[in-house]
Amino acid sequence: MKNVRIQNADMAWHIAADIHFPPDFVESGKYPAIVSIHPFGSCKEQTSGNVYGKALAQQGFVVIAYDASFQGDSGGSPRWIEDPTQRVEDVSRVIDYAVTLPYIDETRIGVLGVCGGGGYAINATLTEKRIKAVVSITGVNIGRLFREGFSGYNPLGALASMAAQRTREARGGDLQVNELLPASLDAAKKNGLTERDVFEATDYYKTARGQQPGGWTRMLFSHARKTLAWDAFSFAETLLTQPVMVVIGEKVGAFGAYRDGMEIYGRATASADRRLVSLEHWSHYDLYDKPEPVAKALDELVPFFKSHLAARQSASSDTTKTAA
């Protein structure tokens, strides 16, 4: 693995990334590449890099797992901004970097995203046609989630609060940085926050299981307004032409990955090859790092990527698969 700082000509700050190489990598070779996108509030050292990035590298791909702008080890100020437009632009900037590397085949680039990163991966693929195949792992449409649960189903009220807070900050007031999760599992139980996704997210991000220095699970409240007017799946029926695989767990939680996955699979009618992998006994956060469901996901997505990032594209198909 190699850590790099991506600084393209049009960027005011750098993007920090880890490049995961295949076992027998040689710089004189030409490899298919995967850009791996981390969840909302996460970082490259967590599921996008240390789980799926490593696994895909073992299968012969060069994988670039990176930190979003304003987050992790990447630059940008103020910190902890979650801006969907910027998140999608980050994908193109990482691809801009990838196509300058002599060992990456620019005609064989795929993208994978986890949770919010899955929604960003889908959205980037709509307009970034250097992406030849996309996989969403328990993907969430972050715009839909903000308009619903994250705003208490009061998006207009949230926008008004964001506006007032931004005015306070412009006048010299303190930044409002929201912590997205309870501080610990005990704190979650004490405050009655035991809904599946909230509790399992706390178990992943706030314990040794998944905790990393760059995975802050924080958000700058005053700069989140654009998220409420954004939709990961806009124009998917027309623009999502590349092969797409959607992996979801059937143990449903409040963050809505199951419903979002079913929606985008249903809407991806222009895709050259759309596939739904529905894992019956597993939840959203099981798919972050639990060995059995991750292995089931990899059993589907590795051959999918190998097929569509090979020298010759495979035939189109529509398939739905349910795995026990």
pLDDT, tens digit (0-9, with 9 covering 90-100), for 97-124: 999 999 999 999 999 999 999 999 999 9
For residue 235, pLDDT beyond 60: yes
Whether residue 110 is found in the same domain as residue 40: yes
Whether residue 88 is found in the same domain as residue 177: no
| Between 310 and 257, the higher pLDDT residue | 257
Nearest one of 140, 146, 138, 143 to 282, comparing CA atoms: 138
Average pLDDT over residues 227-252: 98
Whether residue 197 is found in the same domain as residue 259: no
| Sequential DSSP letters for 77-144 | SSSS---HHHHHHHHHHHHHHHTTSTTEEEEEEEEEEETHHHHHHHHHHHH-TTEEEEEEES---HHH
3-class SS of residue 255: coil
Cβ-based burial of 208 (10 A; exposed 0-12, middle 13-18, buried ≥19): exposed
Paired with 37 in beta bridges are 66, 113
Average pLDDT over residues 255-263: 98
Whether residue 96 is found in the same domain as residue 239: yes
Whether residue 76 is found in the same domain as residue 18: yes
Query: Whole-number mean pLDDT of the chain?
Result: 95
Domain containing residue 54: CATH number: 3.40.50.1820
pLDDT at 296: 98
For residue 294, pLDDT beyond 80: yes
Nearest one of 11, 93, 101, 3 to 53, comparing CA atoms: 3
pLDDT at 172: 98
Whether residue 99 is found in the same domain as residue 173: no
pLDDT at 312: 54
For residue 316, pLDDT beyond 70: no
Round to whole Å and give the CA distance between 297 and 277.
8
Round to whole Å and give the CA distance between 138 and 250.
10
For residue 183, pLDDT beyond 70: yes
pLDDT bracket for residue 243 (50, 70, 90) = very high
* Last residue within a domain, chosen from 162, 191, 226: 226
pLDDT at 10: 85
For residue 324, pLDDT beyond 50: no
pLDDT at 319: 57
For residue 318, pLDDT beyond 60: no
For residue 265, pLDDT beyond 80: yes
Whether residue 179 is found in the same domain as residue 263: no
Round to whole Å and give the CA distance between 265 and 258.
11
Cβ-based burial of 227 (10 A; exposed 0-12, middle 13-18, buried ≥19): buried
Whether residue 188 is found in the same domain as residue 47: no
* Last residue within a domain, chosen from 226, 257, 279: 226
Pairing of the two strands 104-114 and 15-20: unpaired
Round to whole Å and give the CA distance between 175 and 78.
9
Element (H, E) at 198: helix 196-205
pLDDT at 313: 41
Whether residue 118 is found in the same domain as residue 235: yes
Asked if 305 and 271 touch (Cβ cutoff 8 Å), the reply is no
Whether residue 120 is found in the same domain as residue 22: yes
For residue 24, pLDDT beyond 80: yes
pLDDT, tens digit (0-9, with 9 covering 90-100), for 118-173: 999 999 999 999 999 999 999 999 999 999 999 999 999 999 999 999 999 999 99
pLDDT bracket for residue 230 (50, 70, 90) = very high
Range of the domain at 207: 152-226
pLDDT bracket for residue 315 (50, 70, 90) = very low
Whether residue 138 is found in the same domain as residue 43: yes
pLDDT at 188: 97
Element (H, E) at 291: helix 291-308
Round to whole Å and give the CA distance between 218 and 78.
12
Per the structure, how many domains does the chain have? 2
Round to whole Å and give the CA distance between 321 and 280.
11
Asked if 323 and 280 touch (Cβ cutoff 8 Å), the reply is yes
The DSSP 8-state label assigned to residue 71 in this structure reads S
pLDDT, tens digit (0-9, with 9 covering 90-100), for 40-89: 999 999 999 999 999 999 999 999 999 999 999 999 999 999 999 999 99
* Last residue within a domain, chosen from 172, 207, 226: 226
Whether residue 18 is found in the same domain as residue 162: no
Round to whole Å and give the CA distance between 293 and 151.
31
